[in-house]
Amino acid sequence: MLLIFGVLILLGSVPLLFGGGALLWVHIALTDSEGFITTKYHTFERGSYAIVTEPADIEFDEEWNWGWGWHRAWDLGDLVTFKVEGSNNDPSKGIFIGVAEESYLSGYLSDVEYDEITDFSFRPYEVEYTNHPGSSVPAAPTSQTFWTAEMSGTGTQTLEWELETGTYSLMLMNDDGYRGVDLDVAIGAKVPLIFGVGVGMAVGGIVALIAGILMVIFAVRGRKRSQPMHIISEV
């Protein structure tokens, strides 16, 4: 039985070591000085007034039960922080980046022509849009007060947003609200738990590896000692 358990523990250490190593590599090789993993800049260009992402329904149990009566209250911002960084390709205009609840954004864009991102991939870089026609001219986004998070201006602007429970969309516009959006944008995410989880998995994998090796060694030695000795006598 000891040999079987040792082999099982050895097998279990492999995914822990690989998983922990991969997370540590991501933390060391891909994160910037602020802890974000950020894409390259990509161009988002449409002839409408705005580019909007599909609504994301964010639900989270802010209190986890760890058993034995222990609970841990989590702030969503402790888990993931998103970053959107971009600039306007028209130097005479500024960029607007905003996050808002879907209900407010739908009201703002009512009867306004905009494009909704329905599919997106980085490699290869492809964006699919659904155009929503309209005949109204929107007010400048900077004049609105319903934004959960916003950033605007000329040059490169950076918006950071910590996750919150609700249904949200990201919107990109010219800061004056005029038609014709031509922006260079990069998207990033910071997951503070990556390093801690990576270290935990790696340490757990090393401990399991050592324990499995020792169990296999002891099991093999025990078998050798338990084997009967045969004495051959010469007549």
Closest CA relative to residue 188, chosen from 45, 85, 56: 85
Summarize the confidence of residues 99-109 as an average pLDDT: 95
Please give the class, per CATH, of domain 32-194: mainly beta
Q: State the chain's mean pLDDT as an integer.
A: 81
Segment 157-186 shows an average pLDDT of: 93
**pLDDT 10s digits, 2-33:** 667 666 776 777 787 777 777 666 666 667 77
pLDDT higher at 215 or 176: 176
| Domain boundaries of the chain, sorted by first residue | 32-194
**Residue at 224: amino acid letter:** K
Q: What are phi and psi of 216, to 5 degrees?
A: -65, -45
CA 99, CA 209: separation in Å to the nearest integer? 46
The string of pLDDT tens digits covering residues 188-204 is 888 776 666 667 777 77
What are the percentages of helix, strand and coil residues in the chain, rounded to 5? 35, 35, 30
Q: What does residue 139 show for φ and ψ, rounded to 5 degrees?
A: -70, 155
Residue 108 has pLDDT above 60, yes or no: yes
Q: What pLDDT was estimated at residue 191? A: 74
Q: State pLDDT tens for residues 36-95.
A: 888 889 999 999 999 999 998 877 655 544 444 444 455 555 677 889 999 999 988 999
Identify the H or E element spanning 188.
Answer: strand 181-190
